[in-house]
């Protein structure tokens, strides 16, 4: 005789948004959001957008390597950077310029990294944070390891790790997610769903309705936020961090946004995305949405806007000049940043390169 097993599933993934695409807002905003925070967030988002445009121009003129634009990600990444405590650890992927800068990474350091200079990963102001991760999803395993160490030490710290929607299809992501849940790690996993994993659309990557519901399999909270709404992302990251500090374990946040530019400067997104889709995304993107809300609230004016854009341009110009005037590192530096002790297999290559470039061994 066949028997049945009664299972109870908690399968409710809430979608959260406060600033609406029409520039209005649901009232009241979360208690974690102040007018000062909104202004600071907008200023940083505008700075990073101007920096991003300059970085693309540097690549187009042969002064920077392949570069991944962060247009469309400013709201999510600014929210993460402002919500984190300085003692936390940030484990980024390769489109997190806004968060990196808020953590203390100079814009010139970001340019050095994408210019092929390993000194761009040797952060002066936040040495506990990890460098950019270009391999897909491996950073989630690193983050789980760091969060495990934080728990063992008993410090009131947390780790925040980011990745794109495509990274959630990788085993590294699922393994880290499962471990974080099983060990109740102080880890916040933020999936920045920008709809496209290079040329693969989100719908072709996963049949699940949301990516956040992957949290259910790990037994941890999963939430969906409007990634173009700074307030929603900030509030949810703040709550997830507080949860981690109290020893209540990890949280998975799916922030839905849109990649407004190409995947990288080596990509041509017009070959696989409809023009109308991109045009619609520009109408609701995070920088303009927050700007319009601030103007409605009379917290920002056109005069302040013009003044701030001049300040941003001057700031970026100084950082670019610093990057361009930095003497190149020695060729063997690419070995020296990889290992504490160089493995025997690389030693011959290192010595050959040093001799050919006449470096002192």
Residue the block writes with tokens 């309705």:
209
Interior angle at CA 95, CA 249 and CA 234, nearest 5: 45
Q: What is the pLDDT of residue 360?
A: 53
**Catalytic, out of 259, 289, 293, 350:** 259
Q: Write out pLDDT tens, residues 54-95.
A: 999 999 999 999 999 999 999 999 999 999 999 999 999 999
Q: What is the 3-class SS of 4-62, one letter each residue? A: CCCCCCCCCCCEECCECCCCCECCCCCCCCCHHHHHHHHHHHHHHHHHHHHHHHHHHCC
Interior angle at CA 122, CA 56 and CA 57, nearest 5: 10
Q: How confident is the model at residue 181 (pLDDT cuts 50, 70, 90)?
A: very high
State if pTM tops 0.75.
yes
Contact 130, 48 (CB under 8 A): no
Q: What is the pLDDT of residue 335?
A: 87
**Helix, coil or strand: residue 191:** strand
The structural domains of the chain, with segments of one domain joined by +, span 30-328, 331-360
Q: How far apart are CA 179 and CA 135, in angstroms?
A: 20
Is residue 292 exposed (0-12), middle (13-18) or buried (19+ Cβ within 10 Å)? middle
Reply yes or no on whether 113 is catalytic: no
Q: How confident is the model at residue 356 (pLDDT cuts 50, 70, 90)?
A: confident
Contacts for 216 with CB less than 8 Å, ≥ 6 apart? 9, 10, 11, 222
Q: Give the pairing type, strands 187-193 and 159-164.
A: parallel
Q: Helices 302-324 & 107-114, crossing angle to 10 degrees?
A: 50
Reply yes or no on whether 49 is catalytic: no
| Residue-wise burial string across 336-354, b where 16 or more C-beta atoms lie within 10 A, e elsewhere | eeeeeeeeeeeeeebeeeb
Q: What is the pLDDT of residue 97?
A: 98
Reply yes or no on whether 272 is catalytic: yes
**Catalytic, out of 46, 49, 73, 263:** 263
Pick the CATH number of 30-328 from 3.40.640.10, 3.40.50.970, 3.20.20.70, 3.40.50.2300: 3.40.50.970
Q: What is the pLDDT of residue 337?
A: 80
Write down the mean pLDDT value for the chain: 93
Q: What is the pLDDT of residue 8?
A: 54
């Amino acid at each position: 005789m066949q028997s049945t097993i009664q299972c109870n599933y908690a399968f409710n993934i809430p979608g959260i948004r406060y600033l609406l695409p029409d520039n209005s807002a649901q009232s009241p905003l979360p208690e974690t959001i102040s007018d000062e925070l909104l202004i600071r967030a907008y200023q940083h988002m505008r700075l990073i957008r101007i920096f991003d445009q300059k970085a693309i121009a540097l690549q187009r003129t042969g002064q920077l390597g392949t570069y991944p634009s962060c247009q469309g990600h400013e709201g999510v990444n600014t929210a993460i950077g402002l919500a984190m405590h300085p003692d936390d650890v940030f484990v980024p992927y390769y489109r997190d310029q806004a968060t990196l800068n808020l953590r203390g990474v100079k814009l010139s350091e970001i340019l050095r990294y994408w210019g092929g200079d390993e000194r761009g990963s040797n952060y002066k102001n936040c040495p506990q944070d990890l460098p950019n991760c270009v391999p897909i999803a491996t950073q989630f395993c690193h983050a789980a390891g760091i969060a495990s160490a934080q728990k063992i030490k008993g410090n009131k710290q947390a780790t925040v790790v980011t990745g794109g929607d495509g990274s959630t299809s990788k085993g590294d992501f699922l393994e880290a997610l499962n471990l974080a849940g099983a060990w109740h790690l102080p880890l916040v996993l933020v999936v920045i769903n920008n709809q496209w994993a290079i040329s693969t659309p989100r719908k072709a990557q996963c049949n699940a309705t949301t990516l956040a519901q992957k949290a259910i399999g790990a037994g941890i909270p999963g939430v969906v936020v409007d990634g173009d709404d700074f307030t929603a992302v900030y509030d949810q990251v703040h709550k997830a961090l507080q949860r981690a500090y109290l020893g209540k374990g990890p949280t998975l946040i799916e922030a839905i946004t849109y990649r407004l530019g190409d995947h990288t400067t080596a990509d041509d997104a017009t070959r696989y995305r409809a023009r109308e889709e991109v045009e619609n995304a520009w109408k609701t993107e995070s920088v303009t949405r927050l700007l319009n809300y601030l103007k409605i609230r009379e917290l920002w004016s056109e005069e302040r806007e013009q003044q701030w854009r001049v300040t941003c341009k001057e700031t970026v110009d100084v950082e670019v000049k610093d990057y361009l005037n930095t003497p190149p590192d020695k060729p063997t530096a690419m070995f020296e940043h990889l290992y504490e002790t160089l493995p025997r297999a690389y030693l011959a290559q290192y010595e050959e390169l040093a001799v050919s470039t006449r470096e002192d061994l």
